[in-house]
Structure 1
């Protein structure tokens, strides 16, 4: 299997092609953009999206993650659980993506733009440089690029209008997220506590 990095190198591109992930609800797996198959601790469907929780074995900073895939907003909302020696300052991380729901599998195509949310403090739009290079390299067509930018701007604007309260903004969009906690059998001591969803 050819990796995205290999494709980018073959094309002489300074940025990777859009990252694709597969979420297999039958096999309880998540295939990451590099083709690594990860075991998912829990999947849960809701009318507005798909929840998943899984550990991140081998990751130097992150012990586990929880995510919600929200097709209508074109966002993947993630909470990370850090190893004790690597505390992060981000409460939620939003990936702008095309999300394809399915009965047995969901699929996401990452559209480069990300938003780091510091609850009730700030929302920072990230990776705009990668996005611009991807558009210039024709890795995103004009329609997809515009869709990605509109989703990112809608999210940042909505968060700002709700004083960077992600649960409140999502509530006003008819979305109530629930979080299960760190998806590992033996939670790391002193794990970061995150604000409960409303």
Structure 2
């Protein structure tokens, strides 16, 4: 037997119509139900109206949700969201390129700046921003570092010559210990410091 040709229409066509126009048939159900709720609240009085408020507001929320969802689907189908995403990506990529270029320029000059500053300071040609610090004393025999104010080297025992202090205000005139510039008395011997 030969297969029967399908008739145009039927269940398949109705299903396609309902799926294509889902918002329309949902609104066709919700709007009359909401209108019926309003009519019953008007005719029934306060007691009936208070019992019908919950279904009324539920229907209103569903109507708004269907309309919003329908608009979102329309925007999606029109490619609105993909355009917004593409514009955002383009702006973000441009911003990243600008920041990377600025950072690359800063990093490329950073190394030479540091090297120049360090070489100036190590050579003694640069100026430091902090207070001047005296060089640490060394033993004349073994060239080891000794504590400031020490009279003998603790490694070889050689006598350490007293350093000529150019700034007398930073050392006590009586005992020779270093003092702070704002100090009035020496912490080592208690002698009064004159300004």
TM bucket by the smaller chain? under 0.3
TM-score by length of 2: 0.21
TM-score by length of 1: 0.21
Q: Of the two, which has the highest radius of gyration?
A: 2
RCO higher in 1 or 2 (8 Å CA, sep ≥ 6)?
Answer: 1
Greater share of strand residues, 1 or 2? 1
Greater share of helix residues, 1 or 2? 2
